[in-house]
Amino acid sequence: MQSEESAFNAISPVVVALAVAIFGIELILTVSARGILGGGEGVGWRLSAIEHFAFFGPVLDYMIEIGGFTLKDSARFVTYPFVHFGFIHALFVIVFVLALGKMVSETVSARAVLMVFFGSSAFGALAYAAILNDPSPLVGGRTPAYGLIGAYTFVLWARLGAVGGPQMQAFTLIGFLMGIQLIFSLLFGPRNDWIAEIAGFLFGFAITPLVAPGGMQHLLARLRDR
């Protein structure tokens, strides 16, 4: 019992809060879809949540057209990670957020974890809209989860460099995940949201040296060595 509590307490409260928020919203949508909550109207809550909180590529076009940002549409850049297509979709995200968030929070502050999570969400959505002309909604927390993977990759890359280890090993996880995505694309058809996920990864990797202790100094030292 004590070891289980120690393992739970080792996870940053910020990471736990993100996971709980995702789980809580998904629980409400799952229960309502079965008519247990909200009655007949509850069945349509998931579609309503996607309509109001998911990110759509045309949102960026609309903002550019009007030359400004509305609060409602701007919020979509950071609200879409909390709405999912189903319970399994959300469950995978929660596992990634808890696992990667724990490892990243061991090196950077809670504030930095939030910067990676929400920053990669926004950057991923921006890339999704700018690169594609896809009206399909961008939904789910995979993009910020990939941002946490990017942050963890930088931390591991820096540690391996500090001890003279093979730094390319730091990219094993993202390489494995991209391989899995390629297999799924071949089996079930391509998904365009991989662009947002890669953008999230790149943001997480790039921002970590700015928020990790000694991160930028290490990066500059490595660049000078080259």
Q: Which residues, in sequence order, are bridge partners of residue 55?
A: 138
Mean pLDDT (10-residue bins), the chain, 226 residues: 52 94 96 80 88 90 79 92 94 93 89 95 95 88 95 88 79 81 64 90 94 70 56
Query: Please, are residues 52 and 123 in contact by the beta-carbon 8 Å criterion?
Result: no
Residue 137 pairs in a beta bridge with: 56
- Which H or E run includes 171? none
CB 225 within 8 A of CB 171: no
Query: Residue 193: which of 148, 147, 127, 149 has the closest Cα?
Result: 127
One-letter amino acid of 71: L
CA distances from 49 to 81, 93, 102, 197 (A): 12, 18, 28, 21
CA distance 147 to 144: 5
CB-count exposure of residue 9 (10 Å: 0-12, 13-18, 19+): exposed
128: alpha, beta or left? (left if phi > 0; alpha if psi -120 to 50): alpha
Task: Give the count of domains, the chain.
Answer: 1
pTM: 0.86
Please name the residues in contact with 167: beta carbons below 8 A apart, sequence gap of 6 or more.
157, 160, 161
Distance of alpha carbon 73 from alpha carbon 76, whole angstroms: 5
Output the domain CATH number for residue 137. Answer: 1.20.1540.10
Beta-ladder partners of 56: 137
Q: DSSP character for 193? A: T
| Residue where the block lists tokens 């959300």 | 90
Provide the domain limits for residue 143.
2-225
Contact (CB, 8 A) for 201 and 149:
yes
Handedness of CA 138, 142, 147, 153 (dihedral sign): negative
Sort residue 150 into left (φ over 0), alpha (ψ -120 to 50) or beta: alpha
Q: Where are the alpha helices (DSSP H) in 106-141?
A: 110-131
